[in-house]
Structure 1
């Protein structure tokens, strides 16, 4: 009797399992195998293109630095900021910014329908959920150093929401 190890089913194909199945959504996958090894030529070409198209450091510093201090100097309102090793939330005059690892999103105050906070019954997780008017929500969990930070964070976030969110609602 012959026995096979592993699954005998074939992998599924289609847009639900592979976004590259629809032309134009993503760049086509290379037909490399593990035996071929890494391709060096495209990386070198990409690095050369990046060097040629990158502006000089002096131009970048001059263009970026004048606008940032002016924005920060104009507004002296409350700011809420909380972070842990992976997640970060900042709420200030510009809106609410959430980031998790290398992903981030930003909401202006006119894009926000509600902001909800929740604390875990056990543990030290503080959850902030941003709700938008089109019925979408974006939660982020931050692990606090101690449960005593929850009340402090709630107070700071309420001060920011009172200062900026209520102004836009009126």
Structure 2
């Protein structure tokens, strides 16, 4: 997470290599998140592109209060909500960067599906290895998108404990997934 914070600071200063590293580190997870929520791979790709365009434009708005991944997924969630409400993907951030829409061929669509499935078995195995309280907090926050306050009531603990569980769970998942790549 400290590396992601550093990358976001560097992105805010215009460092393209930092953006590339952040993008590569989080693309599969963002695409998988969006693909589970939209019917078409093209839509997931467009939403992911707009999400990362916002990161490129607004990395300076990351406040450092929570995990950078939570900030990133908040952007993705907002882009998804806007898209569902308006019936189309907003492309304001991509246009601000001067990026043209990308038309995906069948091969590229297959890669979107592969990215969406990336980490599936490994992720499931790592989730199963988490202590139950940590897994419950993590899934409630990241998958169900429930607020910390609500999760704390359900799990009968403080909001701070929920935040710690989510943070630790994400750190363990990231370490496990990075270890699988080695």
TM-score bracket relative to the smaller structure:
under 0.3
TM-score scaled by length of structure 1: 0.23
Greater C-alpha Rg: 1
TM-score scaled by length of structure 2: 0.22
